[in-house]
């Protein structure tokens, strides 16, 4: 299948990053003979698991107003003069999840440098052989050049003023409609005012998305359910010429997302499809399915290979002209009249998908255009959900339970025993390890809380997997801990369940993991990167 997406502004930039990823574990990715591969205006560096800079090109020091060399410095000390990692650090996220991350931040002015907005994009560098994530490649770029920072600040101020004006117009327009009879001729004019104001508010929202400081507040959501909730009102108001067909084939559809942002994505793409199909009408077909991105496809998209959700949106319009395919995501690019839009819709869609660590592509032909959205899939179960019917029997399976008091329901050991399992419980990681070392083949499964004394459940899993690489492990975490755990299943943890737990949820997850283990499961068994609490790789 061909991949079409927006090309980087500079081919040198793309080749330099690809080269550095491939060379990230070599003796030096920044030897003089490689300088021509690095874009001169972009800072490129590598940090380890403790966020210590191992290598950096001269542009990093120039952007930060620091004296080179920077080797041995902590990145948070250089960027923000802070003693601890930044709460929204992209490097921390890539170390924890094994996926690319993006963060824009304000670099405050100092005597050595002017204030500016910087964008940091990070990419994990797996260790050869083991696949462990111990290093991260960082790309640092100034996004405040040519007045971008000032323009963004002005746009934010204008948007705020416009929102206040729109609120006044809406309020008084509604009051005026209430004072008039329903069939009064002026009602039609007032209705047009309301429609115009809603369009203006929608435009202000899109301008806010494009500002450098925009960052959506993400949480675990069911994508299929969200799609139906968003599009049900649209389907109910369709004209006879337009049709929407929704195919939700993905059964594991949990993503880390901001529902409001994804609503804007879907509505923008629907508006684009509706205008493309024109007066003749047509069909807009939405398909959600589980997918797997191989190395080549993932590299072309700028994401990490692995499991994801693919949302395909196909219209039956005339398609997109080939000469326009590389430009459709550019701000203000449009082939339509100004009355039909400013050309920001697809730019906003791309920005929002990238902010969710995903990617968007487009395919086009004479039968219409298809937009493909790729979002990382969370291997979690939402709290309170009733799982499908449990299959099989416990047969007195022996489970090792590692949890602090009052974490598990009613409490944990009694709950598991009520389900028919034989349970050995411990509250301290050292005790868990001691019990397991004495009889590593006695346990069919380990259930560990993420929050444990001294070390995390992820670190405990790493140590247990060293003793027995085929050991099935289930991790229990809170919603606030979930964003940093997307990649741990690839490290040997089979499932993650979110607190508060229900008996159904616990029983179903155990049954599923044991059944898949008996079948061979297909789980990749790798060591996971954990850490002692307070270290750079404990990201709660």
pLDDT in tens, 253-304: 888 888 888 988 999 899 899 988 988 899 999 999 999 888 778 777 877 7
List beta partners, residue 451.
Answer: 456
Which H or E element spans position 437?
helix 429-438
Q: How far is CA 531 from the centre of its chain?
A: 23
Helix (H, G, I), strand (E, B) or coil at 430: helix
CATH architecture of 11-144: 2-Layer Sandwich (3.30)
How would DSSP label each residue in 159-207?
HHHHHHHHHHHHHHHHHHHHHS-TT-THHHHHHHHHHHHHHHHHHHHHH
Which structure tokens are listed for 374? Answer: 């790729």
Total number of residues shown for the chain: 540
pLDDT of residue 107: 77
> Residue ranges per domain, the chain?
11-144, 148-209, 219-376, 385-518
Please answer whether residues 401 and 423 qualify as being in contact, where contact means their C-beta atoms are separated by less than 8 angstroms. Answer: yes
CA distance 458 to 452: 10
CA distance 469 to 462: 9
Q: How far is CA 478 from the centre of its chain?
A: 18
Q: How far is CA 299 from the centre of its chain?
A: 17
CA distance 5 to 481: 33
Q: Which residues, other chains included, contact 165 with Cβ-Cβ below 8 Å and sequence gap of 6+?
A: none
pLDDT of residue 520: 66
Helix (H, G, I), strand (E, B) or coil at 416: helix
pLDDT of residue 214: 67
Q: Which residues, other chains included, contact 57 with Cβ-Cβ below 8 Å and sequence gap of 6+?
A: 30, 35, 38, 43, 44, 45
Q: 239-257 burial, b if ≥16 CB within 10 A, otherwise e?
A: eeebebeeebebeebbbbb
- DSSP letter for 390, please: P
| Residue 402: how many other CB atoms lie within 10 Å | 28
Burial class (CB in 10 A: 0-12, 13-18, 19+), 188: exposed
Q: How far is CA 335 from the centre of its chain?
A: 31
Please answer whether residues 334 and 342 qualify as being in contact, where contact means their C-beta atoms are separated by less than 8 angstroms. Answer: yes
Please answer whether residues 84 and 128 qualify as being in contact, where contact means their C-beta atoms are separated by less than 8 angstroms. Answer: no
| Residue 233: how many other CB atoms lie within 10 Å | 8
Q: Which of 268, 164, 155, 260 is nearest to 217 (CA)?
A: 260
pLDDT of residue 45: 92
Q: 105-142 burial, b if ≥16 CB within 10 A, otherwise e?
A: bebeeeeeeeebbbbbbbbbbbeeeeebbbbbbbbbbb
- DSSP letter for 452, please: -
Q: 200-229 burial, b if ≥16 CB within 10 A, otherwise e?
A: eeeebebbbbbbbebebebebbbbbebbee
CA distance 525 to 540: 24
Please answer whether residues 396 and 418 qualify as being in contact, where contact means their C-beta atoms are separated by less than 8 angstroms. Answer: no
Low pLDDT (below 70) residues in the chain: 1-40, 87, 109-114, 144-160, 163, 202-208, 210-215, 337-342, 379-396, 404-412, 478-491, 498-505, 519-540
- In words, the CATH class of domain 219-376 is alpha beta
* pTM of the complete model beyond 0.85: no
CA distances (Å), origin 173, targets 165, 192, 322, 344, 535: 12, 10, 45, 28, 56
CA distance 306 to 297: 10
CA distance 102 to 451: 27
Task: Give the chain's end-to-end CA distance (angstroms, integer).
Answer: 39
Please answer whether residues 265 and 329 qualify as being in contact, where contact means their C-beta atoms are separated by less than 8 angstroms. Answer: no
Please answer whether residues 409 and 502 qualify as being in contact, where contact means their C-beta atoms are separated by less than 8 angstroms. Answer: yes
Crossing angle of the two packed helices 259-277 and 186-209, in degrees rounded to 10: 120
Q: What is the CATH number of domain 385-518?
A: 3.40.50.2300
Sign of CA dihedral 294, 299, 301, 305: positive
Please answer whether residues 301 and 5 qualify as being in contact, where contact means their C-beta atoms are separated by less than 8 angstroms. Answer: yes
For 398-428, how does the pLDDT look when each residue is reduced to its tens digit (9 = 90+)? 999 888 655 444 456 777 777 778 888 888 8
pLDDT of residue 1: 29
Sign of CA dihedral 98, 100, 104, 105: positive
Please answer whether residues 264 and 358 qualify as being in contact, where contact means their C-beta atoms are separated by less than 8 angstroms. Answer: no
List beta partners, residue 272.
Answer: none
């Amino acid at each position: 299948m061909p991949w079409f997406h927006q090309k980087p502004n500079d081919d040198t930039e793309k080749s330099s990053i690809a080269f550095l990823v491939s060379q990230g574990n070599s003796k030096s990715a920044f030897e003089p003979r490689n300088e021509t591969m690095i874009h001169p205006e972009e800072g490129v560096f590598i940090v380890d698991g403790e966020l210590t800079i191992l290598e950096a090109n001269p542009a990093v020091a120039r952007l930060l107003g620091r004296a080179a060399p920077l080797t041995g410095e902590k990145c948070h000390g250089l960027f923000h003069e802070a003693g601890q990692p930044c709460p929204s650090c992209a490097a921390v996220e890539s170390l924890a999840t094994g996926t690319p991350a993006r963060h824009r931040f304000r670099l405050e002015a100092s005597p050595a440098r002017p204030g500016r907005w910087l964008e940091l994009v990070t990419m994990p560098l797996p260790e050869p052989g083991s696949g462990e994530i111990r290093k991260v490649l960082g790309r640092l770029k100034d996004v405040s050049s040519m007045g971008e920072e000032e323009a963004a600040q002005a746009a934010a101020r204008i948007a705020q003023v416009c929102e206040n004006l729109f609120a006044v117009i809406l309020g008084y327009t509604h009051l005026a409609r209430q004072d008039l009879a329903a069939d009064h001729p002026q009602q039609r004019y007032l209705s047009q005012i309301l429609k115009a104001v809603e369009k203006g508010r929608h435009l202000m929202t899109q301008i806010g998305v494009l500002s450098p400081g925009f960052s959506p507040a993400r949480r675990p959501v069911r994508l299929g359910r969200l799609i139906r909730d968003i599009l049900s009102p649209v389907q109910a108001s369709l004209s006879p010429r337009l049709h929407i067909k929704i195919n939700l084939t993905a059964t594991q559809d949990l993503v880390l997302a901001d529902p409001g942002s994804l609503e804007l994505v879907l509505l923008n793409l629907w508006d684009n499809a509706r205008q493309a199909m024109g007066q003749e009408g047509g069909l807009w077909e939405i398909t959600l399915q589980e997918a797997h991105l191989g190395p080549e496809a993932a590299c072309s998209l700028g994401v990490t290979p692995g499991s994801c959700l693919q949302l395909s949106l196909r219209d039956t319009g005339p398609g997109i002209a080939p000469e326009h395919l590389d430009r459709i995501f550019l701000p203000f690019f449009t082939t339509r009249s100004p009355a039909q839009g400013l050309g920001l819709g697809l730019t906003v869609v791309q920005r929002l998908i990238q902010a969710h660590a995903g990617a968007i592509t487009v395919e086009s032909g004479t039968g219409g255009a298809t937009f493909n959205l790729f979002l990382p899939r969370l291997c979690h179960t939402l709290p309170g959900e009733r799982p499908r019917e449990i299959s099989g029997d416990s047969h007195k399976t022996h489970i090792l339970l590692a949890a602090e008091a009052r974490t598990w329901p009613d409490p944990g050991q009694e709950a598991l025993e009520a389900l028919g399992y034989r349970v050995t419980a411990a509250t301290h990681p050292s005790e868990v390890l001691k019990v397991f070392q004495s009889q590593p083949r006695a346990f069919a499964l380990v259930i560990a809380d993420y929050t444990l004394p001294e070390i995390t459940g992820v670190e405990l899993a790493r140590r247990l997997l060293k003793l027995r690489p085929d050991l099935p492990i289930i991790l229990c975490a809170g919603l606030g801990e979930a964003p940093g755990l997307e990649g741990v299943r690839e490290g040997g943890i089979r499932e993650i369940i979110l607190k508060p737990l229900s008996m159904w949820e616990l029983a179903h997850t155990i049954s599923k993991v044991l059944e898949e283990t008996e079948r061979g499961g297909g789980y990749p068994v790798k060591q996971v990167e954990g850490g002692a609490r307070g270290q750079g790789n404990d990201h709660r």
